[in-house]
Amino acid sequence: MKIHELFQAMAKHNASDLHIKVGEPPIFRISGELVRMKSAPLTAEDTDQLLRGLLSDKQKANLDARGYEDFSQSVEGTGRFRCNVFRSCGALSAAVRRVRPRIPSYEELSLPPAVGKCALYEQGLVLMGGITGSGKSTTIAAILNDINAKRRAHIITIEDPIEYQFINDKSLINQREIGLDVVNFAEALRSAVREDPDVMLLGEMRDAETFETALTAAETGHLVFGTIHSSGAAQTIGRILDLFQPNKHEQIRTSLAFNLRCVMNQKLLASTDKAKPQIPAVEMMFITPIIKKLILEGEDAKVAEALAKDVENGCENYNKVLARLYREKKITMETALAIAPNPEELKMSMRGITISDGGIV
């Protein structure tokens, strides 16, 4: 068994992921479910032979030094793969994500039309939240490719590793991979603002320095995209502030209120369509005048309520998204209720009952 044969099997069976671990046969994730290959369990020698051949000498040194290595791999005639090789119980394991051969459109991804508004901004910060594997990178790639098709802009991406490879259309796109094109994320951030970008993708916003760089870039006229791990759009404000010391919160609130344009949060759900076994549920929070005021005044607890009540600006909280997908017969009630932040409110919404300040309507 060779690793490229497993990559080919991923493409053949439309698997999103491949897991390699000692004591198990190769495991594919197909339509969201883990499926074991019908073969013998792998030994430590098997995983070593499968995985070390993918690594350069520098990557092997990184793996030995820190216990993991991220990189991308292209296989001619098969596609691109995002690989994470790591140590587990003293042996090598891997998680491999298959990257689509081309960047899909909003329609192909079944994204709500409101996502397209994010490509129209000239300046500001757009954040995408969600857990690993929820399709954040694919949605952002679709937005960037929309800009690429419609605007003459210089787009710079900082990625670890590069997933989708863009083809210049109206825009000029430079993609920089950490470890390959630039030594580390901090250096990439520092140099990006000096490279005359109009649009920037900064990847995962995991620390205060990254957020401050993103906000500064947004303040100075750039459109900046980033991802963040958060449970919902309304909770993202608190998640950002947690990265900073309390004495900086007022400054960050002001910057967010004036520069944040939209916060999305995405989950992948089981679909009722067998041809498309998964469908994204995308919570959309545009920074409306009311939400801007709440951010400035520190009324974070009221942001979720303002998001739920918005009907004019394209905002949609998870319960509204789930109710809509259920009415469109794209998901089952069981699927909707399983991930709903407020299942009882969702049940009422599905029955046409809404809650206002005055009670049940």
The pLDDT value recorded for residue 353 is 56
Domain carrying residue 225:
106-258+287-307
Q: Which are the contacts of 125, defined by CB distance < 8 A and separation ≥ 6?
A: 214, 215, 218, 224, 225, 226, 256, 259, 260, 261
In a domain, 320, yes or no: no
Helix or strand (DSSP H, E) at 253: helix 249-259
Query: Distance between CA atoms of 238 and 19, rounded to whole angstroms?
Result: 34
Together in a domain, 117 and 70: no
User: Degrees (nearest 5) of the Cα angle 188, 102, 54?
Assistant: 60
- Above 90 in pLDDT, residue 258? yes
What is the per-residue pLDDT across 154-175, written as a single tens digit (0 to 9) for each?
A: 999 999 888 899 999 999 999 9
Tokens of 131: 């857990």
Same domain for 123 and 13: no
Q: Measure the CA–CA gap between 338 and 347, rounded to whole angstroms.
A: 12
Is the pLDDT at 25 greater than 90? The verdict is yes
pLDDT at 357: 47
Domain with residue 226: its CATH number is 3.40.50.300
From CA 204, how far away is CA 128, in angstroms rounded?
Answer: 9
Which pLDDT value is given to residue 143? 98
Beta strands in 26-99 (DSSP E): 27-30, 33-36, 68-75, 79-88, 91-99
Q: Are residues 163 and 302 in the same domain?
A: yes
Decide if 334 is inside a domain: no
The mean pLDDT of the chain is 93
**17 falls within a domain:** yes
Is pLDDT at 235 greater than 60 in this prediction?
yes
pLDDT for res 354: 57
Does residue 314 form part of some domain? no
Given a contact cutoff of 8 angstroms between Cβ atoms, the answer to whether 94 and 51 are in contact is yes
Q: Are residues 151 and 298 in the same domain?
A: yes
Predicted confidence band of residue 196 (pLDDT cuts 50, 70, 90): very high
Within a domain: residue 353? no
Q: Which long-range contacts (CB under 8 A, 24 or more apart) does 187-196 make?
A: 188/158, 189/158, 189/213, 192/156, 192/158, 192/217, 193/217, 193/220, 193/222, 195/154, 195/156, 196/154
pLDDT at 358 over 90: no
Q: Identify whether 332 is part of a domain.
A: no
Tokens of 97: 């994500």
Average pLDDT of span 190-195? 91
Residue 18's SS3 state is strand
Q: CA-CA distance, 186 to 188, in Å (whole number)?
A: 5
The closest of 96, 98, 94, 95 to 80, measured between CA atoms, is 98
pLDDT greater than 80 at residue 253: yes
Q: How confident is the model at residue 297 (pLDDT cuts 50, 70, 90)?
A: very high
Structure tokens at 109: 């991804």
pLDDT over 90, % of the chain: 81
Do 49 and 139 fall into the same domain? no
Confidence bin at 348 (pLDDT 50/70/90): confident
pLDDT in tens, 35-85: 999 999 999 999 999 999 999 999 999 999 999 999 989 888 888 899 999
Tally of domains in the chain: 2
Q: Tell me which amino acid residue 9 is.
A: A
Q: Are 82 and 144 within one domain?
A: no
Same domain, 178 and 93: no
Examine residue 331 and state whether it is found in any structural domain, yes or no: no
| Model confidence at 359: pLDDT above 50 | no
CATH number of the domain that residue 56 is part of? 3.30.450.90
Same domain, 64 and 141: no
Q: Which residues contact 67 (CB under 8 A, 6 or more apart)?
A: 86, 87
Query: Tens digit of pLDDT for each residue in 134-153?
Result: 999 999 999 999 999 999 99
**Same domain flag for 156 and 300:** yes
pLDDT band at 101 (very low <50, low <70, confident <90, very high): confident
Residue 256 and residue 244: Cα distance in Å, rounded?
13
Whether residue 245 sits in one domain with residue 291 = yes
Instruction: Note whether residue 356 is domain-resident.
Output: no
Model-level pTM? 0.85
Q: Domain check: are 65 and 118 in the same one?
A: no
Query: What is the model's pLDDT at position 361?
Result: 38
Q: Same structural domain for residues 155 and 236?
A: yes
pLDDT at residue number 100? 81
**pLDDT confidence of residue 32:** 85
